[in-house]
A = this chain, B = another copy of it.
Amino acid sequence: MKAAFDAFRSLGHPATRGRGEILRILAESVIPLSPREIRERIPDPKPDASTVYRNLTLMVSLGLVRSVALHERSRRYETATDGTHRHSVVCRRCGRIESFQPKKCDLSRIESDIRGTLGFDVTDHSLEFFGSCADCEGKRGRR
């Protein structure tokens, strides 16, 4: 967890326990977490919820964390420090979430088309999949 602290210091922000905990929790999770879930996993004494929000915002702007939108009421966050990029798969029936690293995520063609037609310089994208997980799939029709 030393690395987490250095990440903040080297970017000119004090390293606090809460910040370290948030990064640790996100690094340990295999799926993106909501601010509430993150806070619940921090051992007591927990930081105030507002602190968690403020830190997540900061971390996103520093590029340490990425926000993910899974069509829920709140946003989720995932670690971005490992340079990887994950996509989430959400079950529309039970809400189960899984994340995976794409073998190759080649959207560069689309991104260059966007630059050409809309003049946007695309820096990143967000891709989520929705459907039914294996369990719910098996139960289909049994309602």
Contacts and interface: CB of A to CB of B under 8 A. Distances in A.
Interface of A: 67, 69-71, 75, 87, 89, 91-92, 98, 100, 102-103, 107, 110-111, 113-114, 117-134, 137
B117 A100 contact: yes
A109 B89 CA distance: 15
A30 to B, nearest CB: 12
Given A92-B123, A119-B137, 18 more contacts: A67-B71, A71-B75, A87-B110, A100-B118, A110-B129, A111-B129, A119-B134, A120-B129, A120-B131, A120-B134, A122-B129, A123-B130, A123-B131, A124-B129, A124-B131, A125-B128, A125-B129, A126-B126
A89 B17 CA distance: 36
Nearest to A71: B69
Given A75-B71, A89-B118, A114-B89, A126 B123 contact: no
Nearest to A127: B127
A131 B122 contact: yes
Q: State the oligomeric state as a number of copies.
A: 2
B118 A98 contact: yes
B137 A131 contact: no
A98 to B, nearest CB: 5
25 contacts: A67-B71, A69-B69, A69-B71, A71-B75, A89-B120, A89-B122, A98-B120, A100-B114, A100-B117, A100-B118, A102-B110, A114-B129, A118-B133, A119-B134, A120-B131, A120-B132, A120-B137, A122-B130, A124-B130, A125-B130, A126-B127, A126-B128, A126-B129, A126-B130, A127-B127
